[in-house]
Structure 1
């Protein structure tokens, strides 16, 4: 990359960005609720389909002529003055976790559209083409494996992934629901070097920026994530007549295994547990739980996973149960491009916005894009460090500041 040129400031429309965030929140909002009640817009749900349609209408209004690839990702292009150049790609996702917030992903997508709107309104033409991306199923609540759309674009889908079943639905049928074409999934794959740079604006989802009063975060890298499923088989029996020493209690084994997820400097979470037969007067005969491990080092979480697996064997012996632990998903860590980080810092400084570098403890589509080309992320503060919750909130002025930094960075990188 040659040194980035400096762009004159034009500004984004903060009130319009806010209105769109509030309007998008209607799709997946609890019945009778308000914006502060959060959103459940799980990928492939009716709310997701409706939200995607709304976003595509805004893309059309901005002249982006949205198209959907075989994986269900949405793209829209704006021409540059030199069509031979590779585009600057930027965007995020709009699917959410159950009872999630209204800023995770949404801010990045709607700010990307805002960038295009402002370029149109100010009649600024970039040298490079621009491409807005709305990635499908980033959260991975559906089918227990996130970054689906961006992984499809990066050629990182696993064998048989489209045949996975979740809540009685086959993944390839879910992809069809959002107008993807699983029979031609290979066409969603982008070649390395198909974009000049990938940029993503996102809320931090942690408390560092808010605590330090810094409006802009420049992401250094994104953590690796390993996700496991533990299936525990015991023996269901009468809760009143089965002495404690005679029990093969699957839930007790699950509790011990949960306590064993004590990663130290790494991050580990047991966020989902199922128990059967799930009755108050029956010793649980089976249990299933999820284990998620995160760290910037893939090797460290692999060692941690091995240690948990060894402990699981001991728990199985202690509780006279059988425990099967299998890794369901792995996402490699990804480093942000140093020159793009510098560009974001320089833009922030010109806007009189203080910035700092920090790692991302959450997974993002940007880490898939790192397999194909240079990527960088812009963070804005999450109030109280809260995310994946209805209480998730980023101050409106910080939303506008983040969009402004994205706008100026796109102009600088696109020339």
Structure 2
């Protein structure tokens, strides 16, 4: 049986590392903002790079901006055991989302190196450059480059809200210039991601750890309604081509259809932009987001196609037109059965309560899961709150997750 670190020391280390990483992009609200290639992102990656070197890992970037810290293995031909998560955040997000997986991997690798020396197979800690899609309309840029599902063609027309092209931002951060190795990997044995749940299932069920069996599929759209601007006081209601009125009816329809589904489908409209966005002018154009998720790809497809058919009829009634930009379409992905069972064996041996569950949130494991054997493990989130400064996980739960990761890495690499 593996010898584990002392509880008090590990707890203090994890708390310290969480606060340390949260200081890069930390806000007065208590939240964190690190958007792909911005100043806070660059500072965080440089700090993690220095931490990797400090604990004895060989650090390097790839040309997308992913950062790796390698604990070299004794077997020259062995494939890599990769573990970590994403360094980027949503705007004013929590300090645990993504960051926990990185600092947990750092703590686990440091402990294993100091206690057991070089592993048989190399272990790499990864700080993935991007997962959230918070700055550009593209998700999983980090894991997508490693697995080959994202490339330069994926970003040709992408720009952020300020109009800065993706390519320009990447080059400004020192990537995409050929100075670092190409991101695509062919040497991975598996990927293990430790993450906060971002939901309240574990807390409500009274379980300490979630072992994920599947990650739901997701579609994300930008839906634009086009009408005609006119005077708010002199244009009779019956003659209007009001993009805002249309958008309101479309959103109501989408939410009613989602609430009527009894299979677990969820749909969200979280962002809206209006033009000219003036209180006494009829809106000529409204763009809103749509996020649809379910564990079955056919259910997602049917919901979108049937809903959009009804949306077209509503738009026609208002004399408006619709345009759909589908910028994300990720299918449901199963996690590796062997790795899942290995995690469950550790938890059962230690008498730790756990739950086999589906992830309703997308994660980098969704991308790795179609590329190499992948495990996704959850620790509880208090109140299920995430993507918020109020995001919180008890230190005891954070520590428990790191201990599980240490055990799994030892089993796989040593």
Bin of the TM-score, shorter chain as denominator length: over 0.9
Task: Please give the secondary structure, in 2, of the residue aligned with 1:324.
Answer: strand
Per-residue CA deviation, residues 98-132 of structure 1 (Å, 9 max, x unaligned), is: 12100000000000000111113224432211011
The DSSP-based 3-state class of the residue aligned with 2:58 is coil
Match of 2:14 in 1: 17
Deviation at 1:312, TM superposition (A): 1.9
Q: Could you list the per-position Cα deviations for residues 9-60 of structure 1 after superposition, in whole angstroms to 9, with x for gaps in the alignment?
A: 3457221111111121122222xx26xx211112222111111111111111
Match of 1:53 in 2: 46
1 CA distance for matches of 2:298 and 2:148?
A: 22
Give the Å deviation of 1:316.
1.0
Residue of structure 2 in register with 1:3 after alignment: none
* Residue in 1 that maps onto 2:25: 28
In the TM superposition, what whole-angstrom CA distance separates every residue of 1:353-378 from its partner, at most 9, and x where no partner exists?
A: 11110011111111111222100011
Distance in 1, Cα, partners of 2:32 & 2:58: 27
The 3 A distance-change label for structure 1 pair 159 and 252 is farther
1:138-157 equivalence runs, <5 A: 138-157=131-150
1:66-123 deviation per Cα after TM superposition (whole angstroms, max 9, x unaligned): 1110111111111122222111111001110012100000000000000111113224
- 1:96 alignment partner, SS class: coil
**In the alignment, which residue of structure 2 is the partner of 1:217?**
210
| Pairwise CA distance, 1:181 | 1.8
Deviating runs (4+, > 6 A) in structure 1? Answer: none
What residue is the counterpart of 2:174 in the other structure? 179
Cα distance, 1:204 vs structure 2: 0.5
- Residues 71 and 123, structure 2, Cα contact 8 Å, conserved in 1: yes
State the shift of 1:408 in Å: 0.8
Rounded to whole Å, the distance in 2 between the matches of 1:320 and 1:128 is 63
C-alpha spacing 1:149/1:299, structure 2 compared with 1 (3 Å)? same
Count, aligned residues: 404
2 CA distance for matches of 1:152 and 1:272? Answer: 27
Q: Secondary structure at the match of 1:188?
A: coil
CA distance in 2, matches of 1:199, 1:179: 28
Which TM-score applies when normalising by structure 1? 0.93
* 1:209–1:83 CA distance, 2 compared to 1 (3 A): same
Q: Could you say which residue in structure 1 is the equivalent of 2:115?
A: 122
Verify: 1:160 aligned to 2:157, yes or no. no
Indicate yes or no: 2:74 matched with 1:81.
yes
The answer to which of 370-379 and 118-127 deviates more is 118-127
Say which SS state the counterpart of residue 143 (structure 1) adopts: coil
The CA distance in 2 between the partners of 1:186 and 1:369, in whole Å, is: 19
Q: Does 1:384 align with 2:383?
A: yes
| Partners of 2:345 and 2:207 in 1: CA distance | 15
Structure 1 residues 116, 177: CA separation in 2 closer, same or farther (over 3 Å shift)? farther
Answer with 76-85 or 382-391: which moved more. 76-85
TM-score by length of 2: 0.93
CA contact (8 A) 1:227 1:292 kept: yes
User: Using a 3 Å threshold, how does the CA distance of structure 1 residues 252 and 159 change in structure 2: closer, same or farther?
Assistant: farther
Q: Which is worse superposed, 37-46 or 370-379?
A: 37-46
SS at match of 1:413: helix
Superposed displacement of residue 350, structure 1? 2.8
Q: C-alpha displacement at 1:308, in angstroms? A: 2.2
